[in-house]
Amino acid sequence: MAQYDVVIIGGGPGGYNAAIRAGQLGLKVACVEGRGVLGGTCLNVGCMPSKALLHASEMYDLANKDFATLGIEVAPKLNLGQMMKQKAESVTALTKGIEFLFKKNKADYVKGWGRIAGPGKVAVKGEDGAESILEAKHIVIATGSEPTPLAGVEVDQKRIVDSTGALSLPEVPKSMVVIGAGIIGLELGSVWRRLGAEVTVVEYLPRITPGMDEETAKTFQRALTKQGMKFELGAKVTAAKVGKKDVELTIEPAAGGEAKSLKADYVLLAIGRRPFTDGLGLETVGITPDKRGFIETDHFKTSAEGVWAIGDVIHGPMLAHKAEEDAVACIELIAGKAGHVDYDLVPSVVYTYPEVAWVGKTEEALKAEGVAYKAGKFPFTANSRAKINHETDGFAKVLADAKTDRILGVHIVGPQAGEMIGEYCVAMAFAAASEDIARICHPHPTRSEAGRQAAMGVEGWTMQA
Ligand code: NAI
């Protein structure tokens, strides 16, 4: 029987980072993954392929709509097969990269589906169906999440797809309905809208992207609407009838009222994700997930001795980079070090055009908590780099404590917002005041100056306008 210090179940961003960190710290470690390839949802059917399609479709959209403004006359022609091929090649290169890192850091990659088979034991069912047992001082559950289903709208991955199916449609839909105006719906809806589909997003709430700062979400929605995306807010889908070449959805106002029907070639269901713990043998060590399926933990420790959990299966934002932070902290705690994650500083990015990125509190959260704050805001219409590039959608907004000036939240909507937010993650980790950013020289001309100007705006001395 193979014996390990740590056996990790799941090879996504949580699991593979945990395996590499354990190897670095000299622990004997194995990572069990059943999909036949490392990287989990993020690398295989999530963050990476979606970003590959977002980048390629953005280039296509730019070539179609914006190149002429720059004096470049082209007539782009879509080659969907090639777009999908380069996506697949990038994904393969990345997953192979993780295998290399496993070897380099002496982490064993065990292929097969793992389940806990009692304290200190993980059973792995290999491709041949035979089961082997790994013995472990510590078991780390990193099994991630799966799409949340919706009654009456059954995913067949042909006409009604989830995020996985939407990454590999065989054609550009003439029309697509996206159910759920969350990050997945808007990112993948954007891909297909740019490639030519008419996209309608049906959202249960009266607003898009719950959790995002409300003013930011409104500006974001205006930008998406300008690009041709349609929104049916405050509406729920109650039934779906799949035909040969389309789907007919029944839509009702969320508050009740008359139903109407909406037809589309393809439907993308993206109403959230839920923890994935099917067949994991949690009962063999006495772990019962909570009502929503999450495993409850205290500093990654579950209720079972020697069993830890990280990433999407535990509470907190379901984000790859949060899972990575969990992974490192959890393994460091196992190794007797002081692993720690600051969950107030986990940034979020929506990789649409424009991008939306934020870190820290929204205005709504600060109001609800009764925190007195000041806001500084700067529009990209007044940023020289944005103007020169004809990319003036959006703004940067800095929220700071009214008494101490400590930065409490930053919200950016605009191209490359995801790259800009890193500066504020660092600043907030060092407990910066808005004045610290306002008095730091930033390169000119860059979009980062809009972030600085927003910080200057907290004390009312914004200069470029
Ligand atoms: P989400 O939780 O972000 O959004 C789901 C949306 O669906 C919400 O707006 C919700 O109100 C709506 N909804 C729920 N039930 C509905 C119904 N019956 N009818 C209509 N609307 C309904 O979930 P999403 O977009 O599926 O993403 C799942 C997870 O993956 C999230 O935690 C997200 O943050 C993460 N993710 C992150 C990405 C990134 O960081 N760029 C990319 C993709 C996913």
pLDDT per residue as tens digits for the range 93-111: 999 999 999 999 999 999 9
pTM higher than the cut 0.75: yes
CA proximity to 204, closest of 230, 247, 237, 177: 237
Q: Are residues 104 and 119 in the same domain?
A: yes
Residue 264 forms part of a structural domain:
yes
| 202 CA closest ligand 1 atom index | 20
Residue 212 forms part of a structural domain:
yes
Nearest CA owner, ligand 1 atom 3: 182
Task: Let me know the angle formed at the C-alpha of 435 by 431 and 438, rounded to the nearest 5 degrees.
Answer: 115
Which one of 343, 362, 390 terminates a domain?
343
Task: Measure 183 CA to ligand 1 centroid, in angstroms.
Answer: 5
Name the band, by pLDDT with cuts 50, 70 and 90, for residue 464: low
Which one of 323, 343, 363 terminates a domain?
343
pLDDT at site 224: 98
Q: Which two tokens stand for residue 122?
A: 């993980």
Q: Are residues 170 and 265 in the same domain?
A: yes
Q: Are residues 82 and 139 in the same domain?
A: yes
* Across 173-182, average pLDDT: 98
pLDDT tens for 11-27 read: 999 999 999 999 999 99
Query: Is 465 a residue whose pLDDT tops 80?
Result: no
Q: Are residues 229 and 283 in the same domain?
A: no
10 Å CB burial of residue 458 (0-12, 13-18, 19+) is buried
Q: Are residues 205 and 128 in the same domain?
A: no
Mean confidence (pLDDT) of the chain:
97
Residue 153 forms part of a structural domain:
no
Q: Within 10 Å of residue 111's Cβ, how many Cβ atoms?
A: 15
Nearest CA owner, ligand 1 atom 12: 180
Q: Are residues 65 and 184 in the same domain?
A: no
pLDDT at site 124: 98
Domain that holds residue 380: 354-458
10 Å CB burial of residue 270 (0-12, 13-18, 19+) is buried
Please report, for residues 37, 212, 353, 393, 414, the alpha-carbon distance to residue 357 in angstroms, rounded to integers and kept in the order given: 30, 9, 12, 14, 9
Which one of 324, 343, 362 terminates a domain?
343
Q: Are residues 56 and 109 in the same domain?
A: yes
Pocket of ligand 1 (CB under 6 A): 150, 179-185, 187, 202-205, 210, 236-237, 270-273, 318-319, 349-351
User: Which residue from 146, 164, 204 has its CB within 8 A of the most atoms of ligand 1, so it is best to mutate?
Assistant: 204
Task: Measure 315 CA to ligand 1 centroid, in angstroms.
Answer: 15
Q: Are residues 217 and 339 in the same domain?
A: no
Phi, psi of 266 (to 5 degrees): -135, 150
Q: Hey, which residues are catalytic here? A: 444
pLDDT tens for 365-385 read: 999 999 999 999 999 999 999
Give yes or no for a contact between 160 and 249, defined as CB atoms under 8 angstroms apart: no
Q: Are residues 261 and 278 in the same domain?
A: no
Q: Are residues 375 and 452 in the same domain?
A: yes
CATH of the domain at 210: 3.50.50.60
Classified as helix, coil or strand, 99 is helix
Q: Are residues 233 and 196 in the same domain?
A: yes
Number of structural domains the chain divides into: 3
* Across 303-309, average pLDDT: 98
Task: Measure 145 CA to ligand 1 centroid, in angstroms.
Answer: 12
Residue 52 forms part of a structural domain:
yes
Give yes or no for a contact between 451 and 422, defined as CB atoms under 8 angstroms apart: no
Q: Which two tokens stand for residue 144?
A: 């991630």
